[in-house]
Every structure is written in C-alpha cells, then in structure tokens.
Amino acid sequence: MLLDWSLAVAPLLLIILLMVRFRWGAARAGPAGWLAAVGIAALRFRAGISVLAVAHVRAAFQALDVLLIVWAAFLLYRVADEAGAIRILGKALPHLTADRGMQALLIGWAFASFLQGVGGFGVPVVVTAPILLGLGFAPLTAVMVPSIGHAWSVTFGSLASSFQALIAASGLPGQDLAPESAALLAAAGVVCGWMVARIADGPAGARRLVCPVLILGVVMGAVQYWLATRGLWNIAGFGGGLAGLAVGLFVARAYRGPKQDAAPVGLGTVAQALSGYAALVAITLVVQLVPSVRSALSGIALHLDLPATETGRGYAIAAATAGPIVLLRHAGAVLLYASAVAYGLYRWAGSYSAGALTRIVTGTARGVLPSTIGIVSMVGLASVMSQSGMTDVLARGLAQSVGALFPVVAPWIGALGAFISGSNTSSNLLFVPLQQRTAELLHLRVTRILAAQTAGGAIGSVVAPTKIVVGVGSAGGGVSEGEVLRHLLVYVMGLVAFVSVVVWVWLWAGAR
C-alpha cells in the first residue's frame, strides 16, 4: 500500500520539484508530470492501452470545455486594453479620494477584483501596482495590496474559467457547486478587504476603515453570489468587482482627503471605456434569460460516450457520458460574441490606432499559449491518475491518515496546487478528483469540500512564483521577489487558515 501511495503521488511531487526547485513554468512541468503519470499508470497500476486511451479522450474533452473560456476571456481583455479602456479606468479612480487607505480599497481591492473578473492572468497586479506607485505607495505595498485584494475573486474571475474547471473535473452541475463556492469566497473577500486596509495604512487604518471594508465586502460578495447562483457565473466575478466600484464611488465621499490637483476623467470617457463590458453583460443576460435565444443557440452540442474500463489490477470505472458542451451558448462563445461587439464599439468611438486588430490577435495568441499547454497537460495527468486508480489510492491514504481533519486540510491542498501551477484553474483540474474521492470515502458533503478546494486554490494562486515575478516587474523592480513572497505568505496563510476554520465549522457544526 505504501509503495502504491508513494508512486501515485510521485507525478504531483515531480511537478512541485520542477516548479519550485528548478523554476519551470507549468507549460514545461505539466508535460513532465503527465509523462510520469502515464508511465506509473502503465507499469505499476497496469493500465492498458484502452484505459489510457479513454483517459486521454476524456482529458481532451475536459480541456476543450475550459480552454474555450480561457481563450475568449483573454481575447476580450486584449480588445478592451488595446482601446485604452483599462488605462482610462485606472486614471479615473485616484480622483475619487486622496485618503491612502481608501485609495487602496478602491484600486487594490475593488478595481483589482473587477480586473480579475474580466481578465485574470496576472492583470490585476500588473495594472494596479503602477497606479499605486504613482500615488506614493512603497513598491512592496503596491504589489501586495492588489495581490491580496483580488484573491477572493479568482474562482469566478477570468470569466469563471476556474469554476468551469471545477465543473469539468468533478462532473457535477454548476448549479450544485456555485452556492457554497460563492458563499465561502464572499466570506474570504471581506477578510481580503481588511488585509488590504492593514497593508496600506497599518493597524490604525484597518480599524478606521472597518465600515468601508464591510460595505464593499458585503456588496461585492452578495453580487457575486447572486450572479453565480443564477447560472451567470461567467460574469459573477466581473459583476462583483463592478458593484464594488459603483458603491465605492459613494463610500469614498466620506474619505476624500486633500483635493486632487489633476483634472478628473470625464464621465463620458469612463462610460466609453466600460461599453465593451456592458456588451458582455447584455449578451450574457440575453443568452441566459431569453428562452427563444437560448433555444436557438442550443442546436449544436458535443457529447462524449466513454466506455467502461478496467485495469489489470481490477480497478474499474463504469461507462459514462461526458458533456454536453453546447457550443453556441457556451461561456466561451458568449465571450467571443462580446469581443466582436466590444471591438465594434471601440472602433466606432475611434479608440483604436492603425494595426489594432493585428496586435489584438497576436497578443492573444502569445498570451494564451503557455496556459494552454499547462492546462492540457494538467488535465491529462489528472485524467490518467483517475482512470488508472492512482487517485483512488491517494484518496484512501488521505482518508486513513487525516480522517476527520480532512475538511481542514482540503483548502491547503487547493492552495498548494495553485502555488505550484500558478493557476486556480490548473489546481482544480489537478486536485478535484482527489478531493472529491476523499470526501466520498469520508462521507462528507462533496460540494463543500470542492468549495474549499477552489477557495484555497484562489488564495494560493496569488503567491505562485510566476505571478510574483510579474507583479515585481510591474512595480519597476523596486522590490525583490523574495521580499514580496515572504510578506505575502503571512497573509495568504492566514486567509487559507480562515477558510479552513469556516469549512470545519460549516461541515461539523451543521448538517453533514
């Protein structure tokens, strides 16, 4: 049993070693872990060609479901960024208040959460850190504030690519997963806001800004929850951040501070910048809520019938059907429609210079390539481990070793996966089968354990080495990666511990 468990965990440990010790990216470490999983599955767990073939077909289908969103989400971000929309919003926000703590809440929490909702991929820190630097924040603070500020919004950010990965890897409906995931993340969001105030303005500032933190935190968390639980999870993170910005406009009036010298950005300019995202909201609502449109776009759906498999050691998986992926109303398709409409709106407004379309397309292709390789290999690894019985061996070992403490451990597993892979999406694809199987063996409520997985992954992703490097670069090199990591780890570990306590109370004090 010990040998089986050691070999089953080896591909995951290999990825950790390559990424942490040798600083490989997910695009390199993922394929290495996948190759190790295939070899161990074939040689030790006696997964034949048919078992491995089914595993890879399943993986390809799951990866497609996630990648359609990842590609289209990044395209929409590039359409808006090329038009200067992100830059305009970044210039407008500092004029609302000169209070340092309130600036950090607006820019490093609400705006960073909005940016995570519409873009992700490290965008919140890259965009907001230079703004905070320009306002006089120290480089370390300028990187830490948005890193912590957007952590709660990662799962439903990037137009819910991480949440789609949760759905794909677990095989459970989004309607079942959304309520508990959104509720847990909303609670974490309030703590993120308090941490942002403390990082920016010290303990006294955190106490002084308790009311703004509670108001913005409750509003953002409630809006994200409301959208996610109504099937609109692809705009839930975006909607929560946007609601925080809207409410922040009024809350900031009580914390204006000294008057700003520079001329404020006009309301019409801000509205123009937001027009592309308004198109996304409108299209999403029409596709999801208008029955005739929803029906018209439901004609093309991909299903995948997978045969039953059994390894040479007797581990069997029953036949199943994967899907459907409803292509024309898939979240990726909706994002593609929104990208086209947004491009038309920005072009009509004269926001593009010559060659904009070429830059958008090439920038998108370069931006999504590393994440595509990482996602495909991580999905392949997880599928091989699941189909061959490796995940079951790991789950049984976890269940026997931690037992009743597993709810406390679950968020840390998600955080570890995101730390090593740089992505909550990859963490969900990699560890959801393990978390799900362990919860089943311990007779725990699976949806709550998976909520803990994705919440931990969201928080852990902000200290991934790749994201820290990008964040430090955006701060002009005024701080080292090691210094940022040391300071961030204190807050990240506190956040994950908070999630662990909430999950523990949730599962054991209430109905299991």
CA distance 212 to 190: 10
Q: What pLDDT, on a 0 to 100 scale, did the predictor assign at position 422?
A: 67
Rg, Å, the chain Cα set: 22
Which tokens is 386 given? 């699941």
**What does the pLDDT read at residue 150?**
95
Distance CA 389, CA 386 (A): 6
Residue 318 main-chain phi, psi, to 5 deg: -70, 160
CB atoms < 10 A from the CB of 490, how many? 10
Average pLDDT estimate for 275-301: 85
d(CA 399, CA 414): 16
User: Which phi and psi angles does 261 have, rounded to 5°?
Assistant: -80, -40
Contact present, 245 and 219 (Cβ < 8 Å) = no
For the chain, the average pLDDT equals 87
pLDDT tens digits for 48-60?
999 999 999 988 9
pLDDT of amino acid 269: 86
Q: Please tell me the predicted confidence (pLDDT) of residue 418.
A: 83
Instruction: Report the distance separating Cα 291 and Cα 477, nearest Å.
Output: 52
What band does 512 get if pLDDT is binned at 50, 70 and 90?
Answer: very low
276 pLDDT band, cuts 50/70/90, is confident
Average the pLDDT over 395-423 and give the result.
83
Containing 47, the helix (H) or strand (E) segment is: none
- What band does 262 get if pLDDT is binned at 50, 70 and 90? low
Q: Does 211 score more than 80 pLDDT?
A: yes
Q: What percent of the chain has pLDDT over 90?
A: 43
If one counts every other C-beta atom within 10 angstroms of the C-beta of residue 31, the result is: 17
Which one-letter DSSP state was computed for residue 360? H
pLDDT per residue as tens digits for the range 338-362 = 899 999 999 999 999 999 999 999 9
| Phi, psi for residue 38 in degrees, rounded to 5 | -60, -45
94 in Cβ contact with 130 (< 8 Å): no
Is residue 99 over pLDDT 90?
no
- pLDDT for 291-328, tens place per residue? 899 899 988 888 889 999 999 999 998 898 877 888 89
Among 109-118, 324-333, 433-442, 470-479, which is the least confidently predicted range?
A: 470-479
Work out whether the CA dihedral 234, 237, 239, 242 comes out positive or negative. Answer: negative
The tens digit of pLDDT for each residue in 115-173 reads 888 766 667 887 788 788 877 889 999 999 999 999 999 999 877 889 988 998 898 99
pTM, entire model: 0.77
DSSP code of residue 317:
E
Query: Half-sphere exposure of residue 454, counting CA atoms within 13 Å on the CB side?
Result: 36
Mean pLDDT of 181-203: 96
**CB within 8 Å of 381: residues ≥ 6 apart:** 11, 15, 30, 33, 34, 37, 430
**235 has pLDDT over 50:** yes
pLDDT at 421: 64
Is 26's pLDDT higher than 60?
Answer: yes
